[in-house]
Amino acid sequence: MAVVHQSCVGYVAEPFASLVAGYPGDDVYPQADFRTEWGPVFHRGRLDGSARVLVLGQDPATHESISRRILVGEAGQRVQGLLAKVGVHTAYVMVNVYLYSVFGQAAGSRHVKNEAIAEYRHRWLDALLVGTDVTAVLALGDLAAKAYERWARTQPDAAAALHVAAIRHPTYAEGSARASGRPLAETTAAQLANWNEHLDDLAAHVAAEGPTDLTPYAAGWGPTDLAPIPEVDLPAGAPGWWRDVAAWATRQGDDKQTKRATISVVVPKGARTWPAL
């Protein structure tokens, strides 16, 4: 029997059709600070009103630039694992603070108060959070927490009804280890301790779709802590390995310009199922 695949139908219904038709370009997102050349990446998850949790991430990276959905790479799989713990497998919708990948460390912080960027982001958040069945918001990292608070001031009634879990960004551990010189094991333990603090409260504020597992994270990532991205989240025809935990897209280049211009996509070893020649 033929395999029946599921896929994300994209931006067919309003207000999302109009939102993507009118996305801001490099007049709003300066090219010095954003990799606008890779195009905007808008969301991942349900746009049909069935989402119960909204995840607010930061900005798309390499895997997202290729798959055209956000939070698909390792950061996304860590979040997917966290959602699975509270019994949420597909009833979520995710958007980022920024439509485009941030270029340079300080660029993200520089634009967190940018009016034009916020105005477009607020239109998405209004569509996803005002008068919908979303009960909880998971904000990933400081920029997402700030962006959410800014939106909440514009929609105080809707915001009052939402539980907000502002957690460390899923790749906080790597960034913090790089910036501070502390061992990765230490920063990972700090990140997971922070996630543990939010687990029970988050579970109490979302309607689980399936069994929950509120066993706290250990001090390091366990084998089942990352969850693969569901097929239904990606555009039709996306190869299965785009949803794999193994990394498959990296920036390459010996200088900044080449690296900005180049994403290398390599089929992970485990997905090379073709016959040897």
Gyration radius of the chain's alpha carbons: 18
Q: What SS3 class is residue 228?
A: coil
Token pair belonging to 194? 């922070």
Nearest in space to 247 (alpha carbons), one of 100, 61, 41? 61
Q: Is 61 in the site for ligand URA (CB under 6 A)?
A: yes
Cα pseudo-dihedral 202, 184, 81, 240, rounded to 10: 150
| Span from 17-25, 58-66, 128-136, 226-234 in contact with ligand URA (CB under 6 A) | 58-66
What single DSSP character describes residue 235? B
The beta strand positions in the chain, using DSSP E, are 44-45, 53-57, 92-96, 136-140, 163-167, 249-251, 263-265
- Distance, CA of 111 to CA of 94 (rounded, Å): 20
Q: Does 70 bind ligand URA (CB under 6 A)?
A: yes
234: contact with ligand URA by CB under 6 A:
no
Stretch that binds ligand URA, among 54-62, 130-138, 187-195, 257-265 (CB under 6 A): 54-62
Q: Which of residues 8, 42, 53, 58 is near ligand URA by CB under 6 A?
A: 58
Q: Which is nearer to ligand URA, 106 or 276 (CB)?
A: 106
**Considering the rule CB under 6 A, would residue 233 count as an interface residue with ligand URA?**
no
Looking at beta carbons only, is 175 or 212 nearer to ligand URA? 175
* Whole-angstrom distance, CA of residue 152 vs CA of residue 139: 12
Our CB check for ligand URA shows the closer of 30 and 175 to be 175
**64 is an interface residue for ligand URA by CB under 6 A:** yes
Site for ligand URA in 79-108 (CB under 6 A): 96
Q: Which is nearer to ligand URA, 127 or 229 (CB)?
A: 229
Is 173 a binding residue for ligand URA by CB under 6 A? The answer is no
- The closest of 22, 89, 86 to 232, measured between CA atoms, is 89
Contact flag: residue 75 with ligand URA (CB under 6 A): yes
CA 168 to CA 139: how far, in whole Å?
8
Q: Check residue 229 for interaction with ligand URA (CB under 6 A).
A: no
Task: Considering the complex, state which of residue 61 and residue 192 has its C-beta at the smaller distance from ligand URA.
Answer: 61
**Vertex 26 angle, CA 25 and 27, to 5°:** 90
Closest residue to bound ligand URA by CB: 57
Q: Which is nearer to ligand URA, 45 or 60 (CB)?
A: 60
Instruction: Using DSSP, state whether 251 is helix, strand or coil.
Output: strand
Residue nearer to ligand URA on the CB measure, 66 or 140:
140
Query: Should residue 140 be labelled a site residue for ligand URA when binding is judged by CB under 6 A?
Result: yes
Question: Applying CB under 6 A, which residues contact ligand URA?
Answer: 57-61, 64, 70-71, 75-76, 96, 140
